[in-house]
Amino acid sequence: MDRRVAVAKLLAARDGALVVTGLGSPSYDVHAAGDVAGNYYLWGAMGGAALVGLGIAQAQPGKRVMVITGDGEQLMAFGAMATIAVAAPDNLDVIVLDNQHFGETGMQQSHTGKGINLAAIAAACGFTQARELRDLGEVDALCADLLQPGTGPRLFVLKIKAENLPRSLPPRDATFIKTRFRAHLGLATC
């Protein structure tokens, strides 16, 4: 499926959800759909998106948190799925854009391209919902599902085309991103 169309659909239906992006293409995709203060872009934090999302979900239990990351990053943070399942936040959704390649380092085949199923692993860890989606119609249904309160963490793997799209670069200044995000939450920015 087309990654940018899928991400744009998810963000159009975010309904106030806070969004944490993984390194590289997920950040470009989220930014391409529209830069807003509720987006928290990670730079230089490979493997950290799902756990940053967990921390925000725990700190903001009244808000929905959506992590949009890639298969390479989620593979790097394999243990994060167990930690998230044990913490069991009911306001955290992890969306993995899976092109079965390491897109940021030269498009080498990733472990998911060799049969590792991240949704099955998340389910085995204890996520309340975990599944793979293969077409945009399934993304439309997912958007409706995500608007319903969760009963625990959820993980969805979107099987996307392996392609390098033009970069849509969000702000790279970490202090600016943090300050803007905190202001969006109504927190002190100093």
pLDDT value at residue 101: 62
> Is residue 123, in this structure, part of any structural domain at all?
yes
More confident residue, 99 or 106: 99
What pLDDT, in 10s, does the model give residues 36-85?
A: 999 999 987 788 999 999 999 999 999 999 999 998 888 888 899 999 99
Question: Would 190 be classed as within a structural domain?
Answer: no
Assess if residue 170 is contained within a domain.
Answer: yes
Is residue 93 in some structural domain?
Answer: yes
Residue 182, pLDDT above cutoff 90: yes
Percent of the chain with pLDDT over 70: 94
Q: Give the pLDDT mean for 104-111.
A: 65
Give residue-wise pLDDT tens across range 109-143.
676 768 889 999 999 999 999 999 999 999 999 99
What pLDDT was estimated at residue 22? 92
User: CATH no. for residue 80?
Assistant: 3.40.50.970
pLDDT at 190: 76
HEC secondary structure over the chain:
CCHHHHHHHHHHCCCCCEEEECCCHHHHHHHHHCCCCCEEECCCCCCCHHHHHHHHHHHCCCCCEEEEEEHHHHHHCHHHHHHHHHHCCCCEEEEEEECCEEHHHCCEECHHHHCCCHHHHHHHHCCCEEEEECCHHHHHHHHHHHCCCCCCCEEEEEECCCCCCCCCCCCCCHHHHHHHHHHHCCCCCC
In a domain, 189, yes or no: no
Structural domain contains residue 168: yes
Which residues form the domain of 123?
3-184
Q: Domains in the chain: how many in total? A: 1
